[in-house]
C-alpha cells in the first residue's frame, strides 16, 4: 500500500476531526457540559459552505436543491462559521437550564432533528442523494504541490490555530472560570459570576470552529451526503476525547490521532470478499465501543496528559 | 376517517413503544442513568429469535423464549462487568459508557448477522376492517403483549418481596440498604427484568416488520423520548407517555411527510425538557436540574 497517501489522509482527517474534538473538549472537558450533538455544527458548516458556493441548480440536471449562490470560497467559509454560531445559539439557550444527561439528550435531539431535515428536505440538499462533486477551492491556483498535500497542510494549520486559541483560553482567568463551572457551579455563583452566561458563551465561541472544520471536510470528501454526518461522528469524537483524557487539549489530539489511525488502518486491510470487509467494519465499531468502556473506567492516559490536575468526576 | 385510522395505528405503535421502554425506564429509575445500550439488547433478542426461528426452524414461541432468557442474562452480565464498577463516577459517565456498550453490541451483532433484511417465520395474518378502519392482527397481539408485560411488571413491583426491594431502592438506595434490603439481589433482578423486557421489545419489532441491524439505533431515539416524557414517575407515567408519543408521531402524518415521524418525537423531548422537565407524571422538583 501507499504509505505516503495514507499519511496525507491521516493528517487531513486528524486535523479536521481534531478541531471538533477540541471543541468538545472545551465544552465537556473544560466546562463540563455534555454535548451529544456536536455533529450538528460540523454538518451545518459543511452544508452552509456548499449552499453558499455551489452553482445554482440547472434545469437539466436531477438536482432538487434550490439554493446555490456561487459566492467566493472565503465567503462560504465565513458563512459556515456563522452557521455554526446560529446553530449554537438555537441549541445553546436550553443549556441555560439543563444539566448533565438532560443537556446530552437535548443536544442529541437537536442534532437528530437537523439530520432528519437534511435527509427529508429534498430542496435543501437533494435529501439522501446529497451533493456530490463539490469543487475543491483554489484547485487551479495550486499547481506547485499535490492538492491533497496542500489540503492536509491547510487543515493542519487550521488545527494549530484553533489549538493555540483554545490553549490561551484555557490558561486565561476565563478558562479557570469554565473549570469552576464544571467542578463547582455553586462556588462560581458565590464569587459573583453569572454561570448561565458562561454556559451559553462556551457554545457560541466553540461551535464556529467545528463548523469551519465541516467546510474543510467537504473539501476533503468533495461531497456532502447525510450518511457522513450521523451521530456516529459525535460518538467518534467522544471516544477520541475519552481515550485521550478529557480536560486536556493535548489529550484530545492524542485521542483523535489514535482513533483516526486505527480507523484508517482497518480500512487499508485488503479483503477478498465483501462479507469479510463488512465483518471488519462492524468489528471496528465493536472495538471502538470497547475502547470507550475501558478508557472511561481506567483512564490510562489521564496521568500522562494532565499530570497536575485532578480527574473530572 | 383518516384521523381514526391514524389513532388506531398510533395505539399499535404505542403498544410497541411501551414494550420497548418499560425496561429502559426501570433501569433509569432504579439505577439512575440512561442506558443507551438498551436498544441494542432489543436487536440481540430480535436476531436470536430470527436465527432460531427462521434459520434453525424452531417454533417461534420457543425461539422467543430462549431469546428472552438470553437477553435477561446478557443484561445482567453487562451490568455486573461494566456498569457496577464505575457506578461511583456518576450518571453522566455511565451514560457515555452505555454508548460504548451499544457500539460493542451493535458491532458484534452486525458482524455475526451481516447485511440484509430478515423476518420471522410466523403465520401471515391478513388485516381486517371494522367500520372502515383497517386493523392489523399483529398490532392487536402487541397490544395484548404490552398489557400483559405492564401488568406483570406492576404485580412484580407491588406484590413480591424482590419487587418491593426494587421500589425501596429506587427511592433511596442507601436507606434501603441500611434497613436490611438486599440491594445486590434487587439490582440483579432489575437488570434481568430490564433485559427480558428489552427482549420483548426486540421481538415486537420483528413481529411488526422486517429487521435490519441498524433498526435498534433508530428505536433508542424514540425510547428516550418516551422515557423523558414519562419522567421519573411511576409505571403509569411510562404507559401514558408511550401512547402520547406514539399518537403524536402517527397523527403528525396528517400534516407532515412520514420521514419526519422521529422528528416529532424529538420535538416532544425538547419541549418537555424545556417546559416540564419532571415529565408528565413526575413531581415538581424531583427530576432534571
Q: What is the DSSP string of B182-231?
A: -HHHHHHHHHHHHHHHHHHHHHHHHHHS-B-TTHHHHHHHHHHHHHHHHT
| Whole-number pLDDT of residue B285 | 45
What is this model's ipTM? 0.85
Residue A65: per-residue pLDDT: 80
Q: Do A293 and B104 touch (CB under 8 A)?
A: yes
User: Shortest CA distance to B230 belongs to which of B13, B14, B6?
Assistant: B14
Burial class (CB in 10 A: 0-12, 13-18, 19+), A172: exposed
Angle between helices A231-244 and A38-53 (to 10 degrees): 130
Let me know: does B253 contact B261? Beta carbons within 8 Å: yes
**Residues 125-164 in B contacting A (C-alpha not used; CB under 8 Å):** none
Cα B289 from Cα B286, distance rounded (Å): 9
- Per the CB < 8 A criterion, the answer to whether A174 and A50 are in contact is no
Query: Which residues of chain B neighbour A109 with C-beta distances below 8 Å?
Result: 266, 269-270
Write the DSSP assignment of A146-158 as a string of letters. Answer: -HHHHHHHHHHHH
Enumerate the residues of chain B whose CB falls inside 8 A of the CB of residue A112: 221, 262-263, 266
Interface test with B, best of A102, A114, A246, A291 (most B CBs within 10 A): A102
Going residue by residue through chain B (289 aa), what tens digit of pLDDT does each one get? Answer: 788 889 988 999 999 999 999 999 999 989 989 999 999 999 999 999 999 999 999 999 999 999 999 999 999 999 999 999 998 888 888 998 999 999 999 999 999 998 888 888 888 788 888 877 888 888 888 999 999 999 999 999 989 988 888 888 888 888 888 888 888 889 999 999 999 999 999 999 999 888 888 887 778 888 988 988 888 767 888 999 999 999 999 998 888 887 788 788 888 888 888 777 666 665 554 443 3
∠ Cα B216 B222 B227 (to 5°): 115
Shortest Cα–Cα distance, A176 to chain B (Å):
22
**DSSP 3-state of A131:** strand
Question: B114 — contact with chain A (CB < 8 Å)?
Answer: yes
Residue A288 contacts by C-beta under 8 Å, 6 or more apart in sequence? A235, A236, A239, A259, B100, B103, B107
Residues of B in contact with A297 (CB under 8 A): 85-86, 97
Q: Residue B228: which of A34, A99, A105 has the nearest Cβ?
A: A105
pLDDT for position B147:
94
Quick check: B197 and B204 in contact, CB under 8 A? no
Q: B263, B218 in Cβ contact below 8 A?
A: no
B9 or A66, higher pLDDT = B9
| The model's pTM | 0.88
pLDDT over threshold 50, residue A312: no
Distance CA A250, CA A91 (A): 27
Residue B179 pLDDT:
85
For residue A234, give the chain B residue with the closest CA: B99
Percent of chain A with pLDDT over 90: 41
Choose the weakest-confidence range: A61-75, A200-214, A282-296, B50-64: A61-75
Of A101, A113, A278, nearest to B114 by CB-CB distance is A278
Is B107–A287 a contact, with Cβ atoms under 8 angstroms apart? yes
Is residue A246 within 8 A of residue A170, CB to CB? The reply is no
Q: Are B67 and B48 in contact (CB under 8 A)?
A: yes
Contacts of A29 in chain B (CB under 8 A): none
Q: What is the distance between the terminal CA atoms of chain B, rounded to a whole angstrom? A: 43
Q: Which residues of B touch A286 (CB under 8 A)?
A: 103-104, 106-108, 111
CB atoms within 10 A of CB B223: 28
- Region of B132 (left: φ > 0; alpha: ψ -120 to 50; beta: rest) is left
Which of A193-202, A230-239, B277-286 has the least mean pLDDT? B277-286
List all residues 6 or more positions away from B176 whose beta carbon is below 8 Å from its beta carbon.
Answer: B165, B168, B169, B183, B186
User: Which residue among A98, A275, A297 places its CB closest to the CB of B86?
Assistant: A297
Residue B275, C-beta contacts closer than 8 angstroms, at least 6 positions apart: none
pLDDT exceeds cutoff 60 at A307: no
Cβ neighbours, 10 Å, residue B285:
9
Closest listed residue to residue B198, CA positions, set B218, B183, B213, B219: B219
Residue A38 CB neighbours (<10 A): 28
- The alpha carbon of residue A193 is apart from the nearest alpha carbon of chain B, in Å, by 19
CA angle B73, B241, A33 (to 5 degrees): 75
Does residue A303 surpass a pLDDT of 70?
A: no
Q: Which residue of chain B is at minimal alpha-carbon distance from A283?
A: B107
Amino acid at each position: 500500500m501507499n504509505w505516503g497517501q495514507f499519511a496525507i489522509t491521516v493528517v487531513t482527517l486528524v486535523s479536521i476531526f481534531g478541531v471538533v474534538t477540541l471543541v468538545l473538549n472545551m465544552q465537556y472537558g473544560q466546562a463540563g457540559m455534555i454535548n451529544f450533538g456536536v455533529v450538528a455544527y460540523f454538518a451545518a458548516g459543511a452544508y452552509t459552505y456548499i449552499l453558499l458556493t455551489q452553482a445554482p441548480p440547472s434545469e437539466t440536471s436531477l438536482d432538487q436543491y434550490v439554493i446555490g449562490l456561487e459566492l467566493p470560497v472565503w465567503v462560504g467559509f465565513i458563512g459556515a462559521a456563522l452557521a455554526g454560531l446560529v446553530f449554537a445559539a438555537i441549541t445553546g439557550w436550553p443549556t441555560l437550564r439543563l444539566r448533565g444527561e438532560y443537556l446530552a439528550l437535548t443536544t442529541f435531539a437537536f442534532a437528530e432533528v437537523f439530520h432528519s431535515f437534511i435527509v427529508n428536505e429534498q430542496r435543501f440538499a437533494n435529501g439522501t442523494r446529497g451533493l456530490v462533486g463539490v469543487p475543491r477551492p483554489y484547485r487551479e491556483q495550486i499547481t506547485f504541490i499535490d492538492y491533497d498535500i496542500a489540503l492536509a497542510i491547510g487543515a493542519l494549520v487550521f488545527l494549530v490555530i484553533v489549538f493555540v486559541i483554545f490553549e490561551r483560553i484555557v490558561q486565561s482567568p476565563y478558562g479557570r472560570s469554565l473549570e469552576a463551572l464544571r467542578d463547582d457551579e455553586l462556588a462560581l455563583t458565590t464569587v459573583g459570576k453569572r454561570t448561565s452566561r458562561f454556559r451559553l458563551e462556551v457554545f457560541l465561541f466553540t461551535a464556529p470552529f467545528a463548523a469551519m472544520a465541516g467546510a474543510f471536510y467537504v473539501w476533503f470528501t468533495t461531497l456532502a451526503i447525510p450518511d457522513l454526518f450521523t451521530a456516529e461522528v459525535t460518538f467518534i469524537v467522544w471516544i477520541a476525547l475519552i481515550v485521550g483524557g478529557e480536560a486536556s487539549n493535548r489529550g484530545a489530539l492524542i485521542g483523535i490521532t489514535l482513533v483516526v489511525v486505527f480507523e484508517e488502518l482497518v480500512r487499508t486491510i485488503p479483503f477478498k470478499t465483501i462479507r469479510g470487509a463488512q465483518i471488519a467494519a462492524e468489528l471496528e465499531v465493536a472495538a471502538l465501543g470497547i475502547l470507550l468502556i475501558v478508557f472511561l473506567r481506567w483512564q490510562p492516559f489521564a496521568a500522562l496528559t494532565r499530570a497536575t490536575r485532578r480527574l473530572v468526576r | 376517517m383518516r384521523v381514526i385510522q391514524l389513532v388506531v395505528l398510533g395505539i399499535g405503535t404505542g403498544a410497541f413503544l411501551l414494550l420497548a421502554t418499560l425496561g429502559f425506564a426501570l433501569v433509569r429509575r432504579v439505577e439512575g442513568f440512561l442506558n443507551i445500550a438498551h436498544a441494542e439488547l432489543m436487536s440481540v433478542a430480535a436476531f436470536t429469535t430470527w436465527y432460531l426461528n427462521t434459520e434453525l426452524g424452531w417454533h417461534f414461541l420457543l425461539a422467543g423464549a430462549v431469546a428472552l432468557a438470553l437477553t435477561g442474562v446478557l443484561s445482567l452480565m453487562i451490568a455486573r462487568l461494566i456498569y457496577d464498577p464505575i457506578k461511583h463516577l456518576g450518571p453522566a459517565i455511565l451514560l457515555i459508557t452505555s454508548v460504548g456498550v451499544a457500539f460493542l453490541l451493535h458491532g458484534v451483532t452486525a458482524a455475526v448477522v451481516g447485511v440484509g433484511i430478515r423476518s420471522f417465520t410466523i403465520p401471515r395474518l391478513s388485516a381486517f376492517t371494522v367500520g372502515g378502519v383497517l386493523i392489523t392482527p399483529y398490532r392487536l397481539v402487541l397490544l395484548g403483549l404490552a398489557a400483559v408485560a405492564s401488568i406483570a411488571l406492576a404485580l412484580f413491583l407491588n406484590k413480591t418481596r424482590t419487587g418491593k426491594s426494587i421500589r425501596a431502592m429506587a427511592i433511596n438506595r442507601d436507606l434501603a440498604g441500611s434497613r436490611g434490603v438486599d440491594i445486590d439481589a434487587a439490582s440483579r433482578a432489575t437488570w434481568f427484568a430490564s433485559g427480558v423486557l428489552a427482549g420483548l421489545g426486540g421481538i415486537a419489532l420483528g413481529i411488526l416488520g422486517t429487521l435490519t441491524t441498524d433498526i435498534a439505533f433508530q428505536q433508542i431515539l424514540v425510547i428516550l423520548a418516551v422515557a423523558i416524557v414519562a419522567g421519573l414517575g411511576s409505571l403509569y407515567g411510562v404507559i401514558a407517555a408511550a401512547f402520547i408519543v406514539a399518537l403524536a408521531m402517527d397523527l403528525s402524518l396528517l400534516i407532515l411527510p412520514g420521514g419526519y415521524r422521529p422528528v416529532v418525537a424529538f420535538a416532544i423531548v425538547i419541549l418537555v425538557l424545556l417546559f416540564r422537565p419532571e415529565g408528565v407524571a413526575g413531581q415538581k422538583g424531583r427530576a432534571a436540574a
